[in-house]
Amino acid sequence: MSTTTANLLYLFTIAAFILALRFLSSPRHARLGVQIGAAGMLWAVMVTLSLEEVVTGYWWMFVGMAIGSAIGVVGARKVKMTAMPQMVALFNGVGGGAASIISLVEFHTVWALNGDVGVERGISTVFSALVGSISFAGSMVAFGKLQDLISGRPITYPGQQIGNALIFFGSIALGAVAMATVSFWLLAAAILVAALFGVVFVLPIGGADMPVVISLLNAFTGLAAAATGFVLHSNVLIVSGMLVGASGTLLTTLMARAMNRSIANVLFGAFGKLDETAAAAAAGSDGGTVRSATADDVAVMLAYARRVVFVPGYGLAVAQAQHDVRNLAELLEEKGVDVKYAIHPVAGRMPGHMNVLLAEANVPYDELVEMDQINPEFPQTDVAVIVGANDVVNPAARNQPGSPIYGMPILDVDKSHNVVVIKRSMSPGFAGIDNPLFYDPKTVMLFDDAKAAMEKLIAAVKTV
């Protein structure tokens, strides 16, 4: 079929994608939305297969699609909910890589046909090739960091930012020269340099800043896809890519705002880099005495409380303790305790990470309460239980203007009557700063792995 007919038929796909995002506004219809989106995608594939310019390579296509789909299904089915940030990074990366390769091949085709690609197409080709490549390599590094293949701490060295800037502008310069001289190999080289930039760009960013990085890379892949749409003159690519670009940009801003830091600070600030002197000071500082409690003490406290709020953090994901938290909460609810979960926007390693984990553990979503809604409720809360969270409940963000996290919106757990902190040791959180909450007279510490602590608490609550 002709491109015009195809563009008409692609309108169904565009409408399906917009509806899919629209339906995500409520958990009730969200799943239907995703299914509509998937149907739209299938439709787009069928339309594309019957395009008049698609004349050969069917076997390659079907084999490729079969391999890719198999990888996708197995990966998506096997992944644990705690490993979701890595998975999202991975799928994001492969999309960017595909966009980059498509531009490279299309450049070769057009050049072989016309001997030139023209300025307009040249710009979109370079954009999609480079941004896609940055997204691919950056996502792979993010994956490595989240999977603990690479240190989650920022990796820094002298002259890093100048070096990175040189690599970045070097890839653009190579891309420009590739267009001016119409050279396939120079464009390929530009893509490789862009990939190198993707690597060095994500390396200095710490694990706790991953919600921002993943959102940003998501936006990058979207924009690369949109640019591929300009290269191929395909409206469906332009619209879909831009929808993703908009979503990623919005999430990036939201996440940075939830940490009260500028996007530039997140990307270039190497936040969470262990400062030797500060760490030593934190270790040596004597903020007061810490009260440690046994599981039995805490169990009594919980069993006789009227209202308990759980505050999950990345430690819960690491210990995979979401099911145990849910079991403890259920036990408490049977005893007539009112239980809720307080979710900080940047708790975990990606936007909404904690919601997914707790949903997996069958926590009804109306018990998952956002920061702004739960904060006024802490003064009426008997016990706040912090499970593997630290910086997001650090009162220093509210009352110590000198603190690196000062100004970051936090969960006001210190306003509840009692605070229980479940933590393996006194080591500081990701930001590497001391938490005055631990020295609060209202606070007791339960030193244990989140999962082990939950199991002990369940056993103890049963005997109360």
Partner 1 sequence: MSAQLVTELTILVLAAFVGFEVISKVPTLLHTPLMSGTNAIHGIVIVGAIIVMGTPHPSLFMRILSFIAVVLASANVVGGFVVTDRMLEMFKKKPGDE
Find the shortest distance in angstroms from Cβ 64 to partner 1.
3
Query: With respect to partner 1, which residue has the nearer C-beta, 5 or 285?
Result: 5
Q: Smallest distance from the beta carbon of 24 to partner 1, in angstroms?
A: 5
Exactly one of 91, 406, 439, 447 binds partner 1 (CB under 8 A); which one? 91
- Of 150-158, 218-226, 267-275, 293-301, the window that binds partner 1 (rule: CB under 8 A) is 218-226
**Nearest approach, Cβ of 170 to partner 1 (angstroms)?**
23
The pairing of strands 338-343 and 368-370 is parallel
Q: Which residue, 233 or 306, has its beta carbon nearer to partner 1?
A: 233
Mutual angle of helices 184-202 and 119-146, in 10-degree steps: 40
Q: What's the rounded Cα separation, in Å, for the pair 57 and 364?
A: 48
Task: For residue 442, state whether it binds partner 1 (rule: CB under 8 A).
Answer: no
CA distance 252 to 213: 8
Size of the site for partner 1 (CB under 8 A): 113
239 binds partner 1 (CB under 8 A): yes
Active site residues: 391
User: Segment contacting partner 1 (CB under 8 A): 280-288, 290-298, 360-368, 391-399?
Assistant: 360-368
Quick one: which of 151, 165, 180, 233 contacts partner 1 (CB under 8 A)? 233
Residue 155 as a binder of partner 1 (CB under 8 A): the answer is no
Rounded to the nearest whole angstrom, what is the least distance from the CB of residue 49 to partner 1 in the complex? 6
> What number of residues does the chain have?
464
The first and second tokens of residue 36, run together, are 């509509």
Q: Which of residues 54-83 bind partner 1 (CB under 8 A)?
A: 54-58, 60-61, 63-65, 67-69, 71-73, 75-77, 79, 81
Among 9, 12, 21, 400, binds partner 1 (CB under 8 A): 21
Smallest distance from partner 1 to CB 208, Å:
16
Question: Of 27-35, 152-160, 401-409, 437-445, which part binds partner 1 (CB under 8 A)?
Answer: 27-35
User: What's the token pair of residue 247?
Assistant: 């979503």
Among 82, 99, 144, 340, binds partner 1 (CB under 8 A): 99
